[in-house]
Amino acid sequence: MQWIMVVPLKALARAKSRLSDTAADGLRPGLALAFAQDTVAAALACPEVADVAVVTGDALAGRELAALGARIVPDEPGGGLNAALRHAATVVRTANPHTPLAALNADLPALRPLELARVLTAAAEFPRAFLSDAAQIGTTLLGASPGHELLPAFGTDSRARHRASGATELVLTAVDSVRQDVDTGADLRAALTLGVGPRTAAAAERLKAA
């Protein structure tokens, strides 16, 4: 069973504000783009993924991610993360009603295709399922089988919110790369330890030189 991934990405100029202790204002947009590029490239390389749809209103990010092979869905509602995901899910499901759908964070620069495949294979066993982040507070992936709404509840305490919504929490080991999102400097260091994609590695080198 192959999935369609929906990856939400906010405007690069407003992305990753919590990295201000690690990256200057002028470097954070490039970091956010690098994270998204490595995330999308890894997702497209996953054997369980048929397509990646990036929902964004950022023109530069749209061009760069389309060049990797992603489909770009304009962020028409402009109402935040969950509204963007609901919109993209509707667009994707209209064309592909019988395909499982998963929302995936755009800031997983250490993502490994085979670890993502393990998560998606496990998620396919449930109507809705999610994977918590490395901090065990948030969510990095939320999946919905055909015939079931995605019902995204990302944001503060999304692990608890997704559990309360009836989604099954996936209890898996050895999928650290799918859990390690990057919001803070400590997160970035953890991702670098796991091993990030080439664009994030290059961006991290620019950080050292700054």
Cβ contact 33:8 at 8 Å: no
CA–CA dist 135, 205 (Å, integer): 25
**Which is it for strands 128-132 and 139-144: parallel, antiparallel or unpaired?**
antiparallel
**Predicted TM-score of the model (pTM):** 0.97
Give the containing element (helix H, strand E) for 53. Answer: strand 49-56
Residue 14 CA neighbour count, 13 Å, CB half: 8
Can you give the pLDDT of all 210 residues of the chain as single tens digits? Answer: 899 999 999 999 988 888 877 888 888 999 999 999 999 999 999 999 999 999 999 999 999 999 999 999 999 777 899 999 999 999 999 999 999 999 999 999 999 999 999 999 999 999 999 999 999 999 999 999 999 999 999 999 999 999 999 999 999 999 999 999 999 999 999 999 999 999 999 999 988 887
Which residues constitute the domain of residue 159? 3-209
Q: How many domains does the chain have?
A: 1
Tokens standing for 116?
């993502």
The CATH number of the domain holding residue 163 is 3.90.550.10
